[in-house]
Chains A and B, each alone.
Chain A
Amino acid sequence: MSQSTTEKPEVATEPVAAKKKVVLSEGKRAERKLGWWLCAPAAITMVAVTGWPIIYSIWLSLQRYDLKFPDRTEFIGFDNYVTVLASPYWWNAVWVTAVLTVISVAIELVLGMGLALIMHRALVGRGLVRTTSLIPYGIVTIVAGFSWRFAWTPGTGYLAELAGGEPVLTEKLPALMVVILAEVWKTTPFMALLLMAGLALVPDDLLKAAAMDGAGPWQRFVKVTLPIMKPAILVALLFRTLDAFRIFDNLFVLTAGSQGTSSVSMLTYNNLIKGLNLGIGSTMSVLIFLMVAAIAFIFIKLFGTAAPGSDDGGKR
């Protein structure tokens, strides 16, 4: 923003520049000032709503700060980090989150691709297919979460009966599977939509050419469609991974983090809001921030050339 607002006027005033140097630098300064003024509201809002909370939570994470014992608040450096990183609860939550993320995103990718192909190729009722497949994504997660919970609770739910009346949500592994199911059910349509945009990038002629060159349907998909839509796949994966890593609402409703099913967000919430321990809670949220940043970094570095915004003209 600031760049374009300052640069454009410069170009416009250049002819004047050659004649009167003093007037120009004055005008230039005014333009630059205007540019800053124009950007200021947005910049200040950004700093206020994202920058400041991050900095403040880092500051909190460096203190012993428990609202139950407010007078014992003091600066303790990295002691909170030592506490959190030495805690088995934290590492269990990290593992649970990682497993939930990897498995649900993997399933979503496969199902989403299938759904995207169906929607892309659908000859009739394309609009209807798209609308119906988006319904899960349109339902508020908490509401969907409750309906999953009732469905899996023996006595009230049909799914629990199918499972033989077992209270699946009361055991760690089955509960996590139910959480994954709920996540996949909800976000596959989102994945499909992102992937469908990628499918639209593949020119029909290329697929025809591949058919003429002797490729069967599977070979066409693997050797032509997938490589061309790679950027779209990576964007979809990045979005969903970051999203899945912060899983909270489904877990909150389905297990409330019992039986060791807490995710990192869940654990942070329990410490920060329920436990009123601002120091430990902030430490955890800073760690989550670092992990999310690392995931984004890995995606963009590893798949660098294909990351959004850095297309190398691969689309001809």
Chain B
Amino acid sequence: MAEIVLDKVTKRYPDGALAVQEVNLEIADGEFVILVGPSGCGKSTTLNMIAGLEDITEGELRIGGQRVNEKAPKDRDIAMVFQSYALYPHMTVKENMAFPLRLAKVDNATVEKKVADAAEILDLAQHLDRKPANLSGGQRQRVAMGRAIVRNPKAFLMDEPLSNLDAKLRVQMRTSVSRIQKQLGTTTVYVTHDQTEAMTLGDRVVVMRGGIVQQMGAPQFLYEHPANLFVAGFIGSPSMNFVPASLADNKLQSVLGEVTLTDRIRRLLEGADAPREVIVGIRPEHFEDASLVDATAKTDGGVFTSQVEVLESMGSDKFAHFLLSGEQATSADLADLAKDTGDDTSVGGISLVTRLSASSGAKEGEPSEIWFDADKVQLFDPSTGKNLTYTER
């Protein structure tokens, strides 16, 4: 067990491409940290540098207070779980899990005991003599985990360990990964591109983009206080709605109508040197069917009427999709996000996802009056992507 410190760690490839730029990260002993971001954001490179599978170009990596930049992976005493599981096909489950111990020349009795213990935790006891080829995806994943935990390493590194599982199993395994990590209390760095995994698993989430750390913090904090448009759009599902708006006389003017800024937001904006044209971000759950909101709240918030394009009832609540006429919000951050999701369709307007109470009477194809909470809006600078209403609170 040990803490891991990345001190201005940079990775530059021989062709000059900058994969990771000055990442500073202090991972406490026993902490579960998630590196998340779209593909090519440098999260896997960062993990591989911690593992020792890639050289660090600049900066220092310390594990347990000791500089390990020059150490070979085998001397760093950390275990890694790969997306492909990387099980040795010619060995049985037992041999796979025992492999690191055999290499470490651990005596036979201890190996047997440790493998048995790990198999117990991972519910693999009845599969010990089978070859990986005869296991299901979930079982292979567990064997990979088993191989990591038998060693009692200083840290676990996990590179998208659940990405090859089907959706239902992924949710199950997510819980068991979390349970095992809590049980063992081993420092863990986990890489994923799935924001749901990031939100549900980690003590702390590090959002990366283009080799640069965008923001780090507890999942709930990132959700409520994104530092910029990228983080705001990346974290949360369905994602935050972005609408271009203009600021004038403490009023916010957009296709969602005109709202008066609340005192809290006005105060935050004062220190932020806000431009006139901004992007307003509103999470789906901060909308509501206007008929279900009491009168005072209604006057404080914004209200607009539009035709419900698609209505999805989830049982507990309803997602109403709207298409408003007007220009979509544009910014480099949003373009990156769209590229990540592969969303290159231009809908010809501003699409809006709102989460309404199950009791809402909104109907598909019919106009509906929708309210949103003016105190929950976040304002972003379109040129820098910075959150103008960011607060450390």
Contacts and interface: CB of A to CB of B under 8 A. Distances in A.
A212 B78 contact: yes
A223 to B, nearest CB: 8
Nearest to B80: A212
B103 A215 contact: yes
B84 interface: yes
A205 B72 contact: no
Interface stretch (B87-95, B231-239, B340-348): B87-95
A206 interface: yes
Interface stretch (A85-93, A234-242, A277-285, A308-316): A308-316
Interface residues of B, number: 28
B103 to A, nearest CB: 4
Interface in B67-117: 72-74, 78-80, 82-84, 86-90, 99-100, 103-104
Contacts of B134: 313
A227 interface: yes
Given A203-B84, A219-B103, A314-B133, A212 B79 contact: yes
B51 interface: yes
A212 B103 contact: no
Given A205-B84, A209-B80, A228-B89, A314 B131 contact: yes
Give the bracket for the number of chain A residues in contact with chain B: 20 to 34
Contact of A227 (B87, B90, B100, B147): B90
B358 interface: no
A214 interface: yes
Interface in A180-215: 203, 205-206, 208-215
A210 B147 CA distance: 11
Contact of A205 (B78, B86, B157): B86
A135 B192 CA distance: 47
In this complex, the member of A205, A209, A210, A224 whose beta carbon has the largest number of chain B beta carbons within 10 angstroms is: A209
B165 to A, nearest CB: 15
Contacts of B79: 212-213
A316 B53 CA distance: 23
In this complex, the member of A213, A224, A227 whose beta carbon has the largest number of chain B beta carbons within 10 angstroms is: A213
A216 interface: yes
B37 interface: no
Given A209-B80, A316-B133, A214 B74 contact: yes
B100 A206 contact: no
A215 B147 CA distance: 14
B132 interface: yes
Contact of A214 (B51, B83, B103, B132): B103
Nearest to B104: A214
B135 to A, nearest CB: 10
B73 A212 contact: yes
Nearest to A226: B90
Contacts of B133: 312-316
In this complex, the member of A208, A212, A315 whose beta carbon has the largest number of chain B beta carbons within 10 angstroms is: A212
Contacts of A216: 72, 74
Nearest to A209: B86
A228 B103 contact: no
16 contacts: A205-B84, A208-B80, A209-B82, A211-B73, A211-B74, A212-B80, A213-B79, A213-B100, A213-B147, A214-B74, A215-B103, A219-B103, A223-B99, A312-B133, A313-B131, A316-B133
Which 5 residue pairs of A and B lie closest in terms of their CB atoms, listed nearest first? A209-B86, A213-B100, A205-B86, A227-B90, A214-B103
Given A209-B147, A315-B133, 18 more contacts: A205-B82, A205-B84, A206-B88, A210-B88, A210-B99, A211-B53, A212-B51, A212-B74, A212-B157, A213-B79, A214-B74, A214-B104, A227-B88, A228-B90, A313-B131, A313-B133, A314-B90, A316-B89
